[in-house]
Amino acid sequence: MRKRELVHYLTRAEELGVEPNFFMSLPYLRLSNVKCVEDQGWIWLRDRHWCLFPPLPTKEDVVMGIYPVNKIWALFPEDKATINGHRTFLDWQYVFTPASFKNMSGSLWEVFRKNCRKWPTRNPGWIYTNEEPSGSEAGLLMADWLERKGSAALDGELLIRFAYFEDDPDIFKKYLYNKEGKLVAINAWDMNWMYINYRVCMVDTNEPFLDEFARWLFYTDEDVLKTGKLVNDGGTLDNPGLERFKDKMNPVEKEAIYSWSK
């Protein structure tokens, strides 16, 4: 068994035409401190306890689905490989079309359309920019958001590194300030060969309907639109309220992601 660079797994997945799950990007893997290994015609990612995603064959004569590991944390979306073992539901995966947020016409958009307009109507003079706030200002917003979200915030340390502290050219961030210049929201995202991955939407939790507006800003951002990619907005973390919220944003795909064990 030999170590490989993380990018080798992602490159092989792209070569094989794999639809990536939400966790498959180089910045996410770097910040998660996982390892990439190759052995006997297979390449995969692992941490101390799990193989993160399905191992991929490095040779054409290796059969997909007959994995050289005992358990996998996250299969590919709607993985239909014929494998022996047990699947356990991990989370949903929502995929959106950014261009659809520019119009939002019709009854299906009624709730989100109305709600995303409330905060800017009540708070004129806002600014959305890539100009970074001070560390103390960002820290206060992130700490409050994480405290309010509690268990709904998956891996808080990783999220705050995405939102502010990580200086990585493959992580993109923008910040929303109110008319007084106070930081009220942070958006952060990265990409893989198929999707933009919407990693962070942190808002001032004392501001009603700010979450909707911050998300609308992300989806209608020219930096997002010009890529031509769909957006993978992750799952719901077993939160029924978050599931209802994302359902009302009219995803083009809502796919189940499973864990697997022999």
Type of residue numbered 248: K
How is residue 246 written in tokens? 């994302």
Enter the pTM of the model. 0.93
- Domains of the chain, residue spans: 2-90, 93-256
- Residue 152 in this model has a pLDDT that exceeds 60: no
Structure tokens at 252: 């083009």
Quick one: 10 exposed, middle or buried, by C-beta within 10 A (0-12, 13-18, 19+)? buried
Using CA atoms, how far residue 137 sits from 22, 128, 154, 205, 212, in Å, is 29, 16, 22, 15, 22
If one counts every other C-beta atom within 10 angstroms of the C-beta of residue 166, the result is 16
pLDDT band (50, 70, 90) for residue 115: very high
Q: Which CATH number fits domain 93-256: 3.10.105.10, 3.40.50.300, 3.40.47.10, 3.40.630.30?
A: 3.40.630.30
Residue-wise pLDDT for 160-216, tens only, equals 889 988 889 999 999 999 999 999 999 999 999 999 999 999 999 999 999 999 999
CA 183 from chain centre, in angstroms, equals: 22
Residue 13 has pLDDT above 90, yes or no: yes
- How far from 218 is each of 120, 206, 208, 240, CA to CA, in Å? 14, 20, 18, 23
Confidence of residue 83 (pLDDT cuts 50, 70, 90): low
Q: And the tokens for 167?
A: 């200086």
Give the residue with greater pLDDT, 152 vs 176.
176
Share of the chain above pLDDT 90, in %: 79
